[in-house]
Chains A and B, each alone.
Chain A
């Protein structure tokens, strides 16, 4: 199939394997959104690779009719890095859970971001360990009682976005499993972005952490409790589209347009491309409303591009054209 004639539909990306998540699990909606995004990224099927760790979410690659690697717990960032460096032409996607990415794989996660390898990371955050049946994770709310914290957790949770920005992340977006359309659009942008693109997806585990995000995602509250940001647009939200963000000193303030002399012109305009991440960090930390959309997208040369440039540069200047040249280099002597 040549690129010009790429006419995939979402169905072309569905594998022959039976999907085995619990009925009602948020992962289904995410799978759909990803399959919808694939025909939009303009890549040939054979050039797409999904790499995952271990967890309910990490079963994902089996359901995609692309290349896929379901690996071991926490290590997918390093495996994906190897895939990308082996063949930088590939479109590489990492699927991970909040335990997989932030507990056992925390080290690999931050280093993938620090290096800025062009990999799209979909972090399925259900704030619980699903596969092992309900222990708390590094994102579980403080005090929540789970199977392994019957008296409530005493661990402070991570906010994944803060971790991404703290590791000098260049692309961070947040989405929900209830808004497939927004998610699909974000995925297309994540693929376009050169460098590591991290997409946190708030995902409902209906069995072990049911409705943990319903305060953000339920039909009746979502407009008031979610702020969906778009680059270049004023950060306005609310069922009447009259609430917005304004900077007050070093803090973000929620204001209402039409009250206290506030007009739309007073509302902050979102700049995802700004190199300084201070404001992005404030957006990431905001609890009510929760911010969704592409919060940060700042581009510079990615790791694999730098590696390629370096190899080309060294190749150009090296006296060695073959391994024999190397083997014969240095001090040698002939025995007759």
Chain B
């Protein structure tokens, strides 16, 4: 490792950016995996264009992967990169404004020719114009060096150029004292059948590592030590993957077979794909012809006794609305996952937003209550998918689980939860001891009806979307019955509050300001709140995992603070809901709709402003 002094830091944010064909997502996940194995805490954020291959060399075509590694607890992928790896001029252009002066920028000089920087929208060559004067710039002709290193391996030029991401990764590995084994192992698995390509990639990786060692250019060469995390067995998980696993765990715990009806849509598709890999658990994964068939096939499976799931994003949830109402009316267990993205319409397919909350709560005809829950981090997707399934099966209701692009594609170390450590799930089924079972007879505590399904002798019954008699489930148009059923359906959902955890507060337990959030913004909000605590400010964070119904102690918690600030990546949807549900409080709001997560600085600014206002 040469003689360079290693400068230990407690956390660092690295962004790999290049053309969408440059393999930046892979580079980023490799760095993540290696760092996880070293025991760092991690948060990642991939940021890729909506077009698979936007024009090469343009800002529109830039794909990035940001990773935050640390010795301390990490809750966000970081506001600003400490190190930017820019594989071309467009990647520099797209990310420069996020890099603070004095930070490190590594560039592949081979992609900074005149046509490159012109295409990227620079007026002058950024490497010589002085624009980067205040940064620590490391210029490396990565493409040329990769070509030289891979000479004689018999690879065509395209494959050689493709390996330059491994060269870049090698450089960054050296810079942060990371071992190469994890990536070498990965490459062997991936290219085992193509020995030349494998040799090329490994050679490029080592060449990058050695080059960085040789030039000793890194004043910021750092070793990030392992984080201090609770003992246990860990693995790195992505949100969508964790969602899929949560459902598999729920199926096993409930003794139900899993049925997924889904239609591909960014950023939810990975859940479908992950579950499709797990047919060995008997998972029935059905790629439907559209979102409507996705949910209705799931409703059919629920009617027939399966743990039924449908997964989608905002536009798909819009299509599922009518069918979700059918699930409300027939009181069948169903989990709908909406991995939110920027809207309306096709909006920002690959960017994150929290703007489907109103749709989740109200986006159906009629009085149509469903349970609405949200996941707050990639690892939390496992728990919330499991919980959503548990509520659906035990309370005989559709449950809508909201995640978002940021949580779905982000990753973090997860302390593996074994199935024996999870709660039991007892589906609310009719049993032989019940005399004269009626389809809409209810448990007096939860108001859940008793599930009976085809194949069970003696329970033959008919249900459907028409209003039902409160006991027999036969069609009923009686005015009093409809009103009663309308109340019962709402009350059943409200009573779920008796079975979910109470709201907990991070930071100050009472005081000047309560910051309120929900879903995927938890990491950013928590980091901001922790900063406040360090400055002795009396600020707490109430982060909602359960939105409908609200936890029972919500009003009690809200009452302990002088001010309430609701921060959301939308124009104020939770805040509108809270104003309706708990009108006795005054709410202020902080909103952002840029398709991007909150930055801790902007939150800190908003918090301070709210604290200062009279």
In the complex, the answer to whether B284 meets A85 with C-beta atoms within 8 Å is yes
A304 to B475, CA, bound (A): 32
In the complex, the answer to whether A78 meets B261 with C-beta atoms within 8 Å is yes
* Interface membership of A180, Cβ < 8 A: no
A333 to B231, CA, bound (A): 10
In the complex, the answer to whether A335 meets B229 with C-beta atoms within 8 Å is yes
Per-residue interface assignment for chain B, residues 245 to 289, with 1 indicating a CB less than 8 Å from any chain A CB and 0 otherwise: 100110010000101010000000000000000111110101011
Count A-side interface residues using an 8 Å CB cutoff. 60
B301: A residues at CB distance < 8 A = 82-83, 85-86
* Interface membership of B536, Cβ < 8 A: no
B288: A residues at CB distance < 8 A = 78, 111
Would A82 and B304 be within 8 Å (CB), given that A62-B475, A69-B464 are in contact? yes
Kindly report which residue of chain A lies nearest to residue B294, judged by CB atoms.
A78
Kindly report which residue of chain A lies nearest to residue B458, judged by CB atoms.
A46
- In B453-489, the 8 Å CB interface with A consists of 453-466, 474-475
In the complex, the answer to whether B245 meets A311 with C-beta atoms within 8 Å is no
Which of B259, B282, B284 has the most chain A CB atoms closer than 10 A to its own CB? B284
* Interface membership of B125, Cβ < 8 A: no
B257: A residues at CB distance < 8 A = 86
In the complex, the answer to whether A82 meets B259 with C-beta atoms within 8 Å is yes
Per-residue interface assignment for chain B, residues 289 to 309, with 1 indicating a CB less than 8 Å from any chain A CB and 0 otherwise: 110111011111111111010
A108: B residues at CB distance < 8 A = 289, 292-293, 296
CB distance from B475 to the nearest CB of A (A): 7
A85 to B261, CA, bound (A): 11
CB distance from B41 to the nearest CB of A (A): 10
A51 to B304, CA, bound (A): 11
In the complex, the answer to whether A81 meets B300 with C-beta atoms within 8 Å is yes
In the complex, the answer to whether B326 meets A327 with C-beta atoms within 8 Å is no
Would A67 and B457 be within 8 Å (CB), given that A78-B292, A78-B296, A333-B36 are in contact? no
Would A78 and B293 be within 8 Å (CB), given that A70-B465, A85-B259, A85-B301 are in contact? yes
In the complex, the answer to whether A311 meets B182 with C-beta atoms within 8 Å is no
CB distance from A60 to the nearest CB of B (A): 10
Q: List 15 A-B contacts (CB under 8 A).
A: A46-B458, A49-B454, A65-B460, A75-B292, A81-B300, A83-B303, A86-B259, A86-B304, A86-B306, A89-B455, A307-B284, A314-B280, A320-B278, A335-B230, A335-B231
Other than the known A111-B289, A310-B279, what 20 A-B pairs have Cβ atoms closer than 8 Å? Answer: A61-B464, A62-B462, A67-B461, A75-B293, A77-B293, A78-B289, A79-B296, A81-B297, A82-B299, A82-B302, A83-B300, A85-B286, A86-B284, A87-B453, A107-B293, A317-B280, A320-B278, A323-B419, A332-B416, A333-B37
Top-6 shortest CB links A-B? A82-B300, A70-B464, A318-B280, A68-B462, A86-B304, A82-B297
Interface, chain B (partner A; CB < 8 A): 33, 36-37, 39, 182, 229-236, 245, 248-249, 252, 257, 259, 261, 278-282, 284, 286, 288-290, 292-294, 296-306, 308, 322-323, 326, 330, 416-420, 453-466, 474-475
